[in-house]
A and B are shown apart, each in its own frame.
Chain A
Amino acid sequence: MTTMRRRDASGSVPTYTFDDVQAMSSANDEPAWLRAFREKAWAVYESLPMPSAKDEDWRRTDIRGVHWEQAGKLVQPNGATLETVPAAVRQPLLGDGEGGTLVFVDGKVVHHAISDDLTAKGVIFTDLLTAAKTHPALVEKYFMTQSVLPTDGKFAALHGALWTHGVFVYVPRNVAAELPLHAVMYSTKPGATLGHVLVVLDENAQATVQVEYASPEIEGQALYIGATELLVGQAANLRYVGLQNWSRNTYEFAHQRGRVGADGQLDWVFAVMGCQLLKDFINLEADGKGANGRMSGFFFADKDQVFDLDTQQNHNAPLTVTDLLFKGAAKDSAKTIWQGMIKSLPKMQKIDGYQVNRNLVLSDDARMDGIPGLEIEADDVKCSHAATFGTIEAQPVHYLMSRGVPRPVAEKMVIEGFFDELLQRIPFEAVRERLQSEIEAKIVGAS
């Protein structure tokens, strides 16, 4: 069905009020500190203007398509259960299980499990609201105070004021959570959810965490306003995988920030396949001497999807290493933007910063922007960046065809080969296979 809307029509801006914030706190029976936090975040939200194409960070992404009167309405869970979530998304990450599972449907916890072994070691893996009541000191210390802040932007502030659900992971000092922790945020209805992920690894701790975001195709617009906070302590080691496959009617605005302490390590993988429009600010902060962060991102946009990824690698200490590789493809009339920055503060010598963005443009009407950047204020550093754009390479396709492979299959194999380097960075075979099939579906246009 063809729809038409005038730009000046009402409903094109959020309609949240302070009463919504207070109602959220009351409905959740939140502790006083959390109520106060939401109210402060609301004040920040009200003080900031709505982003528009006139703002540098938003100039390439048109958010006028959000129908706030529908998409902005906070989703109320309606009794959906774990079985609502597709089996492929629910299945354990490893054949022999996982350390913990936490599944939300429409912002409500429908399944929660954690192994006795991890509980005995002091690992906390639960939903954020429960954690705010059972471990208030920890949550109050880390929740939106060190990583993503309400002042990071209009949507970060809105998130701070109105977040609806979240994941909390805490791994104590010297503890290794060997089996992975797996969280799923699944939405079944139009309207807004605001999900939060807070992962804290204390000194010399280790963990692997995967968070998935998905929804089925639904009538009406949905909105996800998210925040991800990864706090990797001194000599700690976090592998974090975030997979997004929202329905085509979903609009996502997100802030994500990982902080890595001295000699810590963060291996961070993103995959973006779904939604109508995504604007994601992704920051990596190498805070301590010897910190090492790797960011691996892949995205595949088709039809009229718009993905806008804004990354920043901040070297806040000497002898830090960051390494970013984002690979994307776009077909039909899709549009993707990757804008990256490596920043080094003065006196942060001997750093090694690297960023590469490779783009595969699969149709005449698709558009892909890649904008790397460096801002270096030290004089003994190694920093480099690159962005490349191209269509399917003719030579490997020709080679495969000369061996009897039909052209469509040959082209599919070349596209899969393009992404394979990144897929291999996902530590779970079943997840790799699932993503592979999603990529295939997009290539042949069956999505």
Chain B
Amino acid sequence: MPEFVTVAQADEFQPGQRIVVEISKKWVAVFNVGGDYHAIQDICSHDGGDLADGELTGCEIACPRHGARFDIRSGKVMSAPALVDIPAFEVRVLDGQVQVATARKKA
């Protein structure tokens, strides 16, 4: 059973919002897309840039630096110039709290 940490209260984290949190020295971007929560590492695998400020289309986020795209549900790379997937993390809502797993999802 993975360990989870609370990152926000569910009623304060509305659809369309995103937050960035540091969990044990790793920066993680958490998204609320239409009521579903997703979390990915906030570092592009191409050039190390922050992803969280990128444009989100559906469940694909584009890196603000060079436009690499990732699926925020799985961390899977969808478009060059990045070639390598990024870690994604399980998110759950428990007792009104949004919680993110500390270990990455298995591929």
Could you tell me which A residues sit within 8 Å of B by CB distance? Answer: 2-7, 53, 59-62, 64-65, 276, 304, 335, 369
Contacts and interface: CB of A to CB of B under 8 A. Distances in A.
Given A2-B24, A304-B25, A62 B5 contact: no
Given A2-B102, A6-B19, A6-B20, A65 B25 contact: yes
Contacts of B25: 65, 276, 304
B88 to A, nearest CB: 14
B93 to A, nearest CB: 16
A62 B43 contact: yes
The 6 closest A-B pairs by CB, nearest first: A7-B20, A5-B22, A60-B48, A4-B5, A2-B5, A2-B102
A286 B36 CA distance: 58
B6 A4 contact: yes
A59 B49 CA distance: 7
A335 to B, nearest CB: 8
B19 A3 contact: no
B4 to A, nearest CB: 9
A369 B48 CA distance: 10
Interface in B13-30: 19-27
Contacts of B6: 4
Contacts of B21: 4-7
B7 interface: yes
Nearest to A52: B50
Given A4-B22, A5-B22, A64 B27 contact: yes
Interface in B35-80: 43, 47-50, 52, 65
Contacts of B23: 2-4
Contacts of A65: 22, 25, 27
A59 B47 contact: yes
Interface of B: 3, 5-7, 19-27, 43, 47-50, 52, 65, 102
Given A64-B27, A65-B22, A304-B26, A4 B49 contact: no
Give the secondary structure class of A's interface. Answer: loop
A141 to B, nearest CB: 41
26 contacts: A2-B3, A2-B5, A2-B24, A2-B102, A4-B5, A4-B7, A4-B21, A4-B23, A6-B7, A6-B19, A7-B19, A7-B22, A7-B27, A53-B48, A53-B49, A53-B50, A59-B47, A59-B48, A62-B27, A62-B43, A62-B50, A64-B22, A64-B27, A65-B22, A65-B27, A276-B25
Contacts of B5: 2-4
A60 B43 CA distance: 10
Nearest to B4: A2
B24 A3 contact: yes
Nearest to B84: A367
Nearest to A304: B25
Contacts of A5: 21-22
Contacts of B102: 2
A278 to B, nearest CB: 14
A53 B54 CA distance: 14
A272 to B, nearest CB: 18
Nearest to B26: A304
A19 B92 CA distance: 47
A61 B43 CA distance: 10
Q: Which of B3, B5, B19, B50 has the most CB of A within 10 A?
A: B50
A190 to B, nearest CB: 15
B6 to A, nearest CB: 7
Contacts of B26: 304
A59 B20 CA distance: 18
